[in-house]
Amino acid sequence: MTNIRFDNKVAVITGAGNGLGKSHALFLASRGAKVVVNDLGGTVAGTGGSRAVADAVVEEIIAAGGEAVANYDTVATEEGGQRVIQTALDTFGTVDILINNAGNVRDKSFAKMDLDDFRSLIDVHLMGAVYCTHAAWPIMREKSFGRVVMTTSSAGLYGNHGHTNYGTAKMALIGLMNSLKEEGRRYNITVNAIAPIALTRMSEPATTPQYAPLMKPEFVTAAVAWLCAPDNTDSGHIIQAGAGYYAKIEVREAAGVLFDTETTPQPDQIRERYTEITDMGEAAPYENASAVIRKVFKMVKPKG
């Protein structure tokens, strides 16, 4: 079996100073990628900063014979996101791979949450991915090659107490991915998402010592590296990964119920058939929004 390699590929990884991002950076560099290690060097809440964090990862890559450069910009501003990608252009001449990994946490129940803490997570997780991807997108389109990975979370996909800001940002990334996968298709740009199960600075407070040794970031990196591989053309996939477990996650829609198209149903009729409406026994995923519309109008019989 031939090893997946990233020779002559330039990878930008945000939040790569610790945890998952560091693991991704070290692995891709070990397989030949030239890596931009972006990290603000701040706290898990996203405050403060230190260049030493990104520098240490770069030094480790170079010591192992790889190529890397540090970037210390925040991804929470458009200018910062542009500078992250510009670092790749200035140092290595292009960008082929973008792993949107940067994040922060400020956990509280919604009733007690300061909305500045809500906005902060939207700015870093969601808008950080938007800013960096928007800056890299024209380059990838021009060269007809790109691999973009979003970092989502089961907290967004399924919900979690005290994670309204985090979960909202993480679920929004799936909407971003779903649209970009369509826009990137003709340009050989894939856009996928990873839902990690890993021990990091963010997850450590909620991880029991019993399971901590099983939650190595490297388990997640294996799936991320495959999503970034030049020969992987799958796009729009959400992959749960961690502790040796890997699974695709899909948004699915029930078979549905068709009422009379000539008369608007009453809520009483919706109530009567709600069990059928919510029956997921014959649920199916759809490639895009157009596929759902096509399904509906195949069922509907227009008059005349």
Cβ-contact 30, 65 below 8 angstroms:
no
pLDDT for the residue 104: 94
CATH level 3 topology of 10-249: Rossmann fold (3.40.50)
pLDDT one digit per residue (tens) for the chain, 304 residues: 789 999 999 999 999 999 999 999 999 999 999 999 999 998 786 777 799 999 999 999 999 999 999 999 999 999 999 999 999 999 999 999 999 999 999 999 999 999 999 999 999 999 999 999 999 999 999 999 999 999 999 999 999 999 999 999 999 999 999 999 999 999 999 999 999 998 665 555 555 566 667 779 999 999 999 999 999 999 999 999 999 999 999 999 999 999 988 899 999 999 999 999 999 999 999 999 999 889 888 888 766 5
DSSP at 3: P
Query: CA 233, 236, 241: angle at the middle one, nearest 5?
Result: 90
What distance in Å separates the CA atoms of residue 15 and residue 294, rounded to the nearest whole number?
40
Would you say domain 252-299 falls under CATH 1.10.287? yes
Cβ-contact 239, 247 below 8 angstroms:
yes
pLDDT for the residue 198: 82
What distance in Å separates the CA atoms of residue 179 and residue 71, rounded to the nearest whole number?
28
- Given the DSSP bridges, would you call strands 284-285 and 252-253 parallel, antiparallel or unpaired? antiparallel
- What is the dihedral angle through the alpha carbons of 188, 2, 24, 202, rounded to the nearest 10 degrees? 100
What distance in Å separates the CA atoms of residue 71 and residue 84, rounded to the nearest whole number?
6
What distance in Å separates the CA atoms of residue 45 and residue 48, rounded to the nearest whole number?
9
Q: Which strands make up the sheet holding 245-249, listed edge to edge?
A: 67-71, 34-38, 10-13, 97-100, 146-151, 189-196, 238-242, 245-249
State the catalytic residues. Answer: 166
What distance in Å separates the CA atoms of residue 165 and residue 113, rounded to the nearest whole number?
9
Q: What are the residue ranges of CATH 1.10.287 in the chain? A: 252-299
pLDDT for the residue 295: 86
What distance in Å separates the CA atoms of residue 218 and residue 282, rounded to the nearest whole number?
36
Q: In the structure encoding, which two tokens stand for residue 245, read together?
A: 């477990």
- How many CB atoms neighbour CB 294 within 10 A? 11
Sign of CA dihedral 192, 197, 198, 202: positive
- What is the dihedral angle through the alpha carbons of 129, 134, 135, 138, rounded to the nearest 10 degrees? 140
Say which residues have a Cβ less than 8 Å from residue 274's Cβ, sequence separation at least 6.
none
Q: What are the residue ranges of CATH 3.40.50.720 in the chain? A: 10-249
pLDDT for the residue 299: 81
